[in-house]
Amino acid sequence: MRTGIATVCLSGTLKEKMQACAIAGFDGIEIFEQDLVTSPLSPEDVRAMAADLGLGLDLYQPFRDFDGVTAELLKANLRRAEAKFKLMSRLGMDTILVCSNVATATIDDDELRASQLAQLAALAGEHGVKVAYEALAWGKHVNDYEHAHRLVEMVDHPNLGTCLDSFHILSRDWDTAPIEDFNADKIFFVQVADAPKLSMDVLSWSRHYRVFPGEGQFELAKFMGHVVRAGYTGPVSLEVFNDVFRQSDVERTAVDAMRSLIWLEEQSAKWLESTSAEAAAGSVPASRRRYPMELATLPKVSEPAGFNFAEVKADDTARLEKLLGQLGFGFEGRHRTKDVQLWTMGQARVIINEQAASHSEPAIAALGFDVDSPVIASARAQQLKAPVVQRRVQADEEVFQGICAPDSTEIFLCQGSPDGTAAWTHEFGEGLEHPGSGNRAVIDHVNLAQPWQHFDEAVLFYTSALALEPQPFAEVPSPSGLVRSQVMQTTDGAVRLVLNLAPAQQASAQQAQSARKSYQEHIAFAVDDLVATARSARDRGLEFLQIPANYYEDLDARFDLEPGFLATLKELNLLYDRDADGEFLHFYTATVGSVFFEMVERRGNYGGYGAPNAPVRHAVQYDHLHRN
């Protein structure tokens, strides 16, 4: 599959964009006109630079408001087009995108449109240019890709074809199956964009909220499958207008973009395979069961089976040790060669890493996931352009395959075991006996704060590299604003990650340090008997997050709880939730640095995270932070 990207997806100057695309490994780019117009580079400079970078210049775009106009305007439009054709020749480009008219069309007549497009195609032919005509979702008269294709068929000129853009097609809920019947020679270009399903006017949706494939909710693999079955072999190019991507680091966004195409390629191949039975059964003509586009595949991985460990880093680890001890974790000893400690409760393993920079506050540094094959999982992640984490290891120690998540958390791919143990724990010295060692416990979920520039990137990262599934998106009120919350999890819930986008901080340089502190992250452990766990922790002196009395009054108004149970909840600072599937009890510890811990008990099949209680936690933590 030939990969491409429109320069409008990225921040920076044309030169910066082209360099970033080359580094990320794209085959070609679309030159967005404004990027050229505002650039000090001459067309010849751009041509030479693209050649040096090994980038094809695959599409010049957009040319707007051409068709369905008066004779007088047609003349001006042809003049305008010819100027662009000449420019393209200087750029060494041969394909231009012409969008269906949104502004100046006054005549709604297919015969007239076809005759005007025929004149454009003839003129293009004289300049060696191919015109890819696209139906915009909000085109005045032409807003349906099949309509655009019919016009192309009517004109039937070798220099006129169509451009298929997944956004313009899927935002209108058009059926994509008819694409398979298109003549591949008439599909000049394919653009892909994903988007969250929003109910708003399609123009604003398109201009601000598009995302890269895998970051939204469109059925792009199916769209691509139809395109591939049609016999198309040209570029598959990203055209993603997104307010955040336009503000973010250009090289990093280009890598995110490339990852989305690598993933889409795999998903498209899977979709084609999954529908091959039906194809063989005759609903797809035999000629389309084989297709000329080659689709690369990736090393296959299953969902991770669970968390292997979580690692917290700190300069001064005393407060962390105290908290874990009070929760009932046991100290298993120090690593034989590294400055790290291991603490466990049941199958929940927490590494305290003492190798932090001096004066750095405790923070979540790494997570380990149990996978079938660390090597295969790592190979897949690397093919998806995940940055590799380098860790020094000594001979005879387990080698961890590590990758770096978009928020800089290190993700280690560990060999899972049927009994939930981890071989590497033998590298730690003999620990102390501890009261909670008999407890059954696992890491239930981990809640990570995401920088706003990398929220969508993180969704694709965990989807593509780690086979987690995004759940419906939520927003949680906090005293400093709404917190956007995206759960990524495995089907069985054994691995649950909560990605939180905290409200923007009003961070002046002076406030930066305290602002960082308000991005709190946490690790939650599940136990069988939360009340007993809480009582023991209290007896060991644990500082619980103090839940306001008003909360318990409201809880009682909502759930009509048994008075003894309500009193227990209140006594122990436990929070409670209930839904049709079960019940959820949990409590939080005080925060140390930017980290705190949560203990949870899931009763029945409760699958949530106590979302109605999240505002209480945020408010109490905010209050603590601002009092300190």
Smallest gap from Cβ 54 to a copy of itself, in A, equals 23
Q: Which is nearer to a copy of itself, 15 or 334 (CB)?
A: 15
Name the phi and psi angles at 234, rounded to 5: -80, -165
d(Cα 534, Cα 468) in Å, to the nearest integer? 31
Q: Which is nearer to a copy of itself, 185 or 553 (CB)?
A: 553
Task: Give the HSE-up count for residue 605: Cα atoms under 13 Å, Cβ half-sphere.
Answer: 3
d(Cα 1, Cα 238) in Å, to the nearest integer? 13
Q: Determine if residue 191 is labeled as part of a ligand binding site.
A: yes
Q: Determine if residue 522 is labeled as part of a ligand binding site.
A: yes
Smallest gap from Cβ 572 to a copy of itself, in A, equals 17
Smallest gap from Cβ 173 to a copy of itself, in A, equals 16
Smallest gap from Cβ 126 to a copy of itself, in A, equals 17
Q: What amino acid is encoded at 597 in this protein?
A: F
CA dihedral over 285, 287, 289, 292, signed as positive or negative:
negative
Smallest gap from Cβ 509 to a copy of itself, in A, equals 4
Asked whether 525 and 443 are in contact (CB, 8 A), the reply is: yes
Residues that bind a copy of itself (CB under 8 A): 11-13, 16, 33-34, 36-43, 76, 79-80, 83-84, 87, 198-201, 204, 208, 243, 246-249, 452-453, 477, 479-482, 503-504, 506-509, 512-513, 546, 548-551, 553-554, 556-558, 560, 615-616, 618-620, 622-623, 626
Q: Determine if residue 332 is labeled as part of a ligand binding site.
A: no
Q: Which is nearer to a copy of itself, 243 or 469 (CB)?
A: 243
Find where tokens 């041969």 sit. Answer: 94
Q: Which is nearer to a copy of itself, 83 or 280 (CB)?
A: 83
Asked whether 359 and 402 are in contact (CB, 8 A), the reply is: no
CA–centroid distance for 580 within its chain: 30
CB neighbour list of residue 99: distance below 8 Å, 6 or more residues apart: 62, 63, 64, 65, 134, 136, 139
Q: Which is nearer to a copy of itself, 206 or 463 (CB)?
A: 206
Smallest gap from Cβ 512 to a copy of itself, in A, equals 4
- If you count them, how many residues does the chain have? 628
Residue 89, classed as helix, strand or coil, is helix
Q: Which is nearer to a copy of itself, 331 or 588 (CB)?
A: 588
HEC sequence for 494-560: CCEEEEEECCCCCCCCCCHHHHHHCCCEEEEEEECCHHHHHHHHHHCCCCECCCCHHHHHHHHHHHC
d(Cα 358, Cα 584) in Å, to the nearest integer? 39
- Smallest Cα–Cα separation from 576: which of 543, 619, 547, 605? 547
Q: Determine if residue 34 is labeled as part of a ligand binding site.
A: no
Q: Which is nearer to a copy of itself, 110 or 556 (CB)?
A: 556
Smallest gap from Cβ 138 to a copy of itself, in A, equals 12
CA dihedral 279→283→289→293, nearest 10 degrees, is: -100
Largest CA distance in the chain: 91
Smallest gap from Cβ 160 to a copy of itself, in A, equals 21
Q: Determine if residue 598 is labeled as part of a ligand binding site.
A: yes
Q: Which is nearer to a copy of itself, 172 or 334 (CB)?
A: 172
Residue 256, classed as helix, strand or coil, is helix
User: Which residues participate in the annotated binding site for Mg(2+)?
Assistant: 445, 522, 598
User: Which residues participate in the annotated binding site?
Assistant: 134, 165, 191, 239, 445, 522, 598
User: Which residues participate in the annotated binding site for a divalent metal cation?
Assistant: 134, 165, 191, 239
